[in-house]
Amino acid sequence: MQPDLVERLTAIVGPSHVVRDPAELTSYQYDGSADRALPDAVVFPADAEQVRLIVEACREFECPFVARGAGTGLSGGALAEAGGVLIVTSRLRHILELDVANRLAVVEPGVVNAHVSEAAKPYGLHFVPDPSSQGACSIGGNVAENSGGLHCLAYGVTAHHVLGCEVVTPDGDLVWLGGKRYDEPGYDLLGVFVGSEGTLGIATKVAVKLTPLRRTRHTLLASFTTPDDASRAVSEIIASGVVPAALEMMDGLSVRTIEDFVHAGLPVQAGAVLLVDVEDLPIAAAQTAAHVRTVCERAGADEVRQARTEQEAHRLWLGRKSAFGAMGRLSASYYVADGVIPRTKLPQVLGEVARIGERYGLRIANVFHAGDGNLHPLIAFDDRTPGEYERTVAAAADILRACVRAGGSITGEHGVGVEKRDCMTLQFSPADLALMSRLKAAFNPDGLCNPGKIFPTSRRCGESARIASRGGIAPDTARAAGAAF
């Protein structure tokens, strides 16, 4: 990295907020994915103006830059694969405004997801999107990935709860997309920005909607002998006209692993379980819970249990939210796949996932958002065994192929990033990708903002991109890939 750029960055944020030491930089080569890439420098801006000045400096020196929040992303989207400057938003962690009358809040991107709801709770409000990592993940990352969560089935993903974003564009301008109103004239640039995985700019403020806290909630746990039976119950619940607040599935392997980890009260003998939240006014909620029970029993449930207290419900959901952490008990490493399929194809695709695991000699646990068909196969592997990582990546690519063949998508909420960029061709034609690349170029013409993400860099899904992710790639190669798209 050019000394003059380092000097400029130091002048912007102060010497204590620039990291250049190689040993310290290694802490920023990871996110929650299996990929890794080492930045040349890490900076910690304190406000939007400092973010703008950093971007301006990087453009002047033609240096790549990447925004990073809490580092909990699961697709390598916040990795500095081309080197350059990693702009970490952890100092931008203030809730700037809590407008109870208009049910909105304005927050900085480094605010932890759960902290928004904690601040709004005394007023009977909360921020709906609830990724499993909500106790750690930050709002800026949620916006970048358009994150979902356990209750997105009924309430929608992050895009449905964002009114506006203050953004530093890749050109170094500071603009608002949307605002604090529910309708804005002109093109929906906010809709383009949310979910763009940091390739179209850096959010420095976010105006979010706040929603009244649940009125009455019933939590039900239904255990089944097989995942097929549980899958049929999912389709029948939705087909009957009921849309639960949450409808999650865990297969037998994940149930046993989770229960051993957190002792949530899950039935370890089950082949699969459904965890269902029903929310409504008291009488309607009770009636809907009874209906869900009947549907599950008709689909072959061995047991349907309703949480008797809020504490019991909390413990069950803690088990579900602890699923990824529990997988460390299965193996030294695990790989989280992320695809979407129609609900009616759950039995077919889960069967194919099992066969893929057998073909590659890998154990796969399934824990996922069953209500909207968002699969999260967790592939257990040992990174120390030669060739096992490569088999895992190939298995994950085969799972995505199965999702697309079933009429689904290669990602539901984790994003494309580095991990699935070479699988984009499974779902999109060259014309589709060319149109997306022209849109990206309109915001990011020199390709310096989060280069090498989303768009394919090779011809085969799940192959050559892994060479980059394991050992890093030459900055010139990565910049060329970013400029091409």
Question: What is the Cα–Cα distance from 445 to 414, expressed in whole angstroms?
Answer: 25
- The pLDDT score that the predictor gives to residue 462 is 53
- The pLDDT score that the predictor gives to residue 309 is 96
Query: Domains of the chain, with CATH numbers?
Result: 3-90+441-453+468-484 (3.30.43.10), 95-212 (3.30.465.10), 216-326 (3.30.70.2190), 330-419 (3.30.70.2740)
Using 50, 70 and 90 to split pLDDT, how confident is the model at 215?
Answer: confident
C-alpha distance from residue 165 to each of 2, 118, 175, 236 (Å): 32, 21, 8, 39
- The pLDDT score that the predictor gives to residue 473 is 32
Q: Compute the average pLDDT of residues 261-289.
A: 96
Give the closest residue to 262 by CA, choosing from 311, 319, 307: 319
Residue-wise pLDDT for 93-102, tens only, equals 999 999 999 9
Using 50, 70 and 90 to split pLDDT, how confident is the model at 378?
Answer: very high
Residue-wise pLDDT for 429-479, tens only, equals 999 999 999 999 999 999 999 999 999 997 567 553 333 333 333 333 333
Using 50, 70 and 90 to split pLDDT, how confident is the model at 480?
Answer: very low
Using 50, 70 and 90 to split pLDDT, how confident is the model at 184?
Answer: confident
- The pLDDT score that the predictor gives to residue 472 is 34
Question: What is the Cα–Cα distance from 140 to 107, expressed in whole angstroms?
Answer: 9
For residue 361, is pLDDT > 70? Answer: yes
Using 50, 70 and 90 to split pLDDT, how confident is the model at 293?
Answer: very high
SS (H, E, C) 343-402: HHHHHHHHHHHHHHHHHHCCEEEEEEEHHHCEECEEEEECCCCCCHHHHHHHHHHHHHHH
Does residue 433 contact residue 485 with C-beta atoms inside 8 Å? yes
For residue 74, is pLDDT > 70? Answer: yes
For residue 173, is pLDDT > 50? Answer: yes
Q: What is the Cα gyration radius of the chain?
A: 22
Provide the pairing of β-strand 363-368 with 377-381: antiparallel
414: tokens are: 């984790």
Share of the chain above pLDDT 90, in %: 90
Who has greater pLDDT, 480 or 364? 364
Residue-wise pLDDT for 270-281, tens only, equals 999 999 999 999
Side chain identity, residue 122: P
For the chain, the average pLDDT equals: 93
pTM: 0.91
- The pLDDT score that the predictor gives to residue 481 is 31
Using 50, 70 and 90 to split pLDDT, how confident is the model at 185?
Answer: confident
SS (H, E, C) the chain: CCHHHHHHHHHHHCHHHEECCHHHHHHHCECCCCCECCCCEEECCCCHHHHHHHHHHHHHCCCCEEEECCCCCCCCCCCCCCCCEEEECCCCCCEEEEECCCCEEEECCCCEHHHHHHHHHHHCEECCCCCCCCCCCEHHHHHHHCCCCCCHHHHCCHHHHEEEEEEECCCCCEEEEECCCCCCCCCCHHHHHCCCCCCCCEEEEEEEECEECCCEEEEEEEEECCHHHHHHHHHHHHHCCCCCCEEEEEEHHHHHHHHHHHCCCCCCCCCEEEEEEEEECHHHHHHHHHHHHHHHHHCCCCEEEECCCHHHHHHHHHHHHCHHHHHHHCCCEEEECCEECCHHHHHHHHHHHHHHHHHHCCEEEEEEEHHHCEECEEEEECCCCCCHHHHHHHHHHHHHHHHHHCCCECCCCCCCCCCCHHHHHHHCCHHHHHHHHHHHHHHCCCCCECCCCCCCCCCCCCCCHHHHHHHCCCHHHHHHHHHHC
Share of the chain above pLDDT 70, in %: 95
Which backbone phi and psi does 150 adopt, to 5 degrees? -65, -30
SS (H, E, C) 285-316: HHHHHHHHHHHHHHCCCCEEEECCCHHHHHHH
Question: What is the Cα–Cα distance from 452 to 339, expressed in whole angstroms?
Answer: 21
